[in-house]
Structure 1
């Protein structure tokens, strides 16, 4: 029996308790069938404002559903927009809800469907400026449609992606939990997608995965979005281990037109679906449309472009741009004496004699991301992931502690790690975690990232480089930052052979360094 992903369950529950729109305000047409370019029937619903259309047409919003959900997902939001004078069409993408066809993951058929829906709206109603909005699948799809159709004036992409590969294959590591959930919950999935997921898991024909992902990823269409002048709003969540903030911050940095970025605590889509972050995400999305579709002078175009909410405390901050700071702390890795000691991170380079540390594959440790999905949801409500750092097995992991922080260390942005290693097998995996550790040895997870080295030269020292997932976190005074590295993670696929050793060499000419952006 197929199991729904947690965000989908929450979204479905929300839809069940959303009251049906009354007929006192906008006109609501619950069932609209629109024939797409290939004869496929696309199921939709429509809100028509009770007010006459302005001279330049109704400001119009097209809502695209999340994975496994349908046209009824956004009833509350669509009704609110219609009461504010918007024409709103919500639809089920092909393969979902009552729409025909198969799910091609924002492929050419799905993108063509959206353009047909825009044609249909323009043929039947006075359409003014046009916006697209959606959560998750709806967000990624909206960005690609906007790039390919210059009629789209604004987008609100919530918990979306700009790079599918980063979502399912971060740092050459199979995102097993999230990928499995996605493939099991789409009942009308295009068989080609199942083949690609199988190839990804087996490591066969990885080029086909990249070829599949590129035309479905907004990062491939930066030039078109810039040429169209599309006003792009993006919202992503720090503990979203499906669509991490990193590729969205990259897209944000490449856009030349109007843009806004919101980074929030919590996991994939839950904040947007449940009105989290004190309703800030949807309220800002509505203001975005009010300005760029209705022309209201509400000031959103002159406000700071980045809203970043600090993890755990849920305190919202605003910044002019991303990256939000150019200050960094650089910590150089220094060796440990034995499996029973922690190593250290120092502000000065390692200048001692040549030294090696080893840790081993074959077992997980207490370093990790908590209970898959559940821990990530709870973090959005200020409940952190705790780990007893003293209980991490030094044979299967290595820990590096920073000097004590005498004042609050305000991490903002994307930490990076450059590290020299010597693998004992062609394929090895590192699970890299950053913790806030108190005086009693309890650590709270700040961020993490996986890294899988494939086809490595056995026994040769090589430098790996990776980005940890973008974060916003305050390390209290009296705490240290701990870099904890082991070889297995609960949401990622392990190498077929987990019995390997990883040696970390320390040399004057081979410096391993962790760089942390901070205020």
Structure 2
């Protein structure tokens, strides 16, 4: 995990270029040992403004660390806030850094710890309105704490999650790469977490996994967040294949209080850490706290609620709400003639003779997402995943091409697929990719999603439905959108038996449809 820790520790140098309103140097206390509710010691640091506390107390921010990092992660951001009059504590969550206890993945102990730290701050300093912020693990803890502790007025959840299941088990598919990274890099992991991960990989006691996940997922606490009136800022990244934007956009739509959503290129935590969008994420976070903790009339509450940055071009767009558009195009899937031809998708339904295509498991193809983690991180710098669409093996995959676009096709939102299949085994897996394909057959990945069908009716037609991961992408004029589907991907755990055939039937009564939202 050290390769991930280094960029996070450099975060301030690259993304905290903000102008302070006060030049007074804050007092820094680098080491605080605070005893939490069960006697464990939590390691923290504290910035105290040199300016006197306002009548209502200092606006206060509690920073919570990312996975495998500690209280040092946000030093430069914390100092910047303190120079602007904030009281700022950063701490190492239990089991990380030198804090005692076991890592429980935002369980009750971790949430109680955060409330104990708030108690400590209020007992020792004049605390006004208080906010919490964090990247990744810190984002999830911040959201759940805010739901359970109404003293938290505002939250900045960056690269966070609202649904543990969606992160580790999207569409019943084990997120093998990210789950392995998480479970092997926490040195003080609660044994219960290892059991949950083992059960997930073995597809055993999924009900127990769901019971574990629910209290750790902000989607379980929408009524509490709404009742508390928590001001929630969320930032997520299109190529984050750990905490996809989808569950956070769902949370956003359910919140009634002040809210703002940032959707960015890049992968998990890297965009926030390395100053993505020219520092826009952290600048917006600071403005969010200025409005809801300092009560400054800075206009952020009257601006468009959704900031969406287009992949590849990194152009920032703003929208009043999410979904950002009510326009969409429905593409009906039409058959191919052989393994050596591509199929097509058209805006008209399939009305021909009964037909079918098949493709087979047992091998990966060029229809993939690139090198796990690395390719996703490079996308944040405008370097996309490319593939030779002409080199995709038609025996192990199927491709559907749209008509050629005469003008730029601006995809904004969450594409979805409803598809009829006839599986030859009770467990099959599909990897659904959306590509921007140019005239020479070179494709750039737009989005993807996996789905694992378990206990399928063998040899019988059945419809599967899934949402691809939320995205923002401009398909140039002269290009087509390609729907490429195969059965394996480097990120996800394969079924035990990959020797299966998937037949796609085409019938007037069985229309397979790809829906793409766009401007």
Which TM-score band applies after superposition, normalised by the shorter structure? over 0.9
Aligned to 1:325: 325
Matches within 5 A, 1:349-428: 349-428=349-428
Q: Give, in angstroms, the shift of residue 17 of structure 1.
A: 10
Q: Give, in angstroms, the shift of residue 9 of structure 1.
A: 3.5
**Does the aligned pair in 2 maintain the 1:18–1:76 contact within 8 Å?**
no
Q: Give, in angstroms, the shift of residue 10 of structure 1.
A: 1.8
Task: Normalising by structure 1, report the TM-score.
Answer: 0.97
| Partners of 1:5 and 1:327 in 2: CA distance | 44
Aligned to 1:233: 233
Asked if residue 141 in structure 1 is aligned to residue 138 in structure 2, the reply is no
Q: Give, in angstroms, the shift of residue 61 of structure 1.
A: 0.2
Evaluate the alpha carbon distance shift between residue 299 and residue 13 of structure 1 in structure 2; reply closer, same or farther with a 3 A threshold. closer
Asked if residue 8 in structure 1 is aligned to residue 10 in structure 2, the reply is no
Deviations, residues 492-514 of structure 1 (Å, cap 9, x unaligned): 00000000000000000000000
Evaluate the alpha carbon distance shift between residue 18 and residue 306 of structure 1 in structure 2; reply closer, same or farther with a 3 A threshold. closer
Q: Secondary structure at the match of 1:330?
A: strand
Q: Give, in angstroms, the shift of residue 255 of structure 1.
A: 0.2
Deviations, residues 191-250 of structure 1 (Å, cap 9, x unaligned): 010011011111111111111000000000000000000000000000000000000000
| Partners of 1:402 and 1:159 in 2: CA distance | 33
Q: Secondary structure at the match of 1:201?
A: helix
Aligned to 2:463: 463
Please give the root-mean-square deviation of Cα atoms over the aligned residues, in Å.
Answer: 1.3
Aligned to 2:20: none
| Partners of 2:13 and 2:289 in 1: CA distance | 26
| Partners of 1:307 and 1:237 in 2: CA distance | 12
| Partners of 2:24 and 2:295 in 1: CA distance | 26
Aligned residue pairs, count = 513
Q: Secondary structure at the match of 2:210?
A: helix
**Does the aligned pair in 2 maintain the 1:154–1:289 contact within 8 Å?**
yes
Task: Normalising by structure 2, report the TM-score.
Answer: 0.97
**Does the aligned pair in 2 maintain the 1:370–1:385 contact within 8 Å?**
yes
| Partners of 2:378 and 2:94 in 1: CA distance | 32
Q: Secondary structure at the match of 1:72?
A: coil
Q: Which runs of 4+ in 1 moved over 2 A?
A: 5-9, 12-19
| Partners of 1:325 and 1:17 in 2: CA distance | 33
Q: Secondary structure at the match of 2:73?
A: helix
Deviations, residues 260-304 of structure 1 (Å, cap 9, x unaligned): 000000000011111111000000000000000001110000000
Q: Secondary structure at the match of 1:100?
A: coil
Q: Secondary structure at the match of 1:71?
A: coil
Asked if residue 505 in structure 1 is aligned to residue 505 in structure 2, the reply is yes
Asked if residue 85 in structure 1 is aligned to residue 85 in structure 2, the reply is yes
Aligned to 2:47: 47
| Partners of 1:16 and 1:434 in 2: CA distance | 36
Structure 1, unmatched stretches of 5+, are: none
Aligned to 2:190: 190
Q: Give, in angstroms, the shift of residue 164 of structure 1.
A: 0.6
Matches within 5 A, 1:47-86: 47-86=47-86
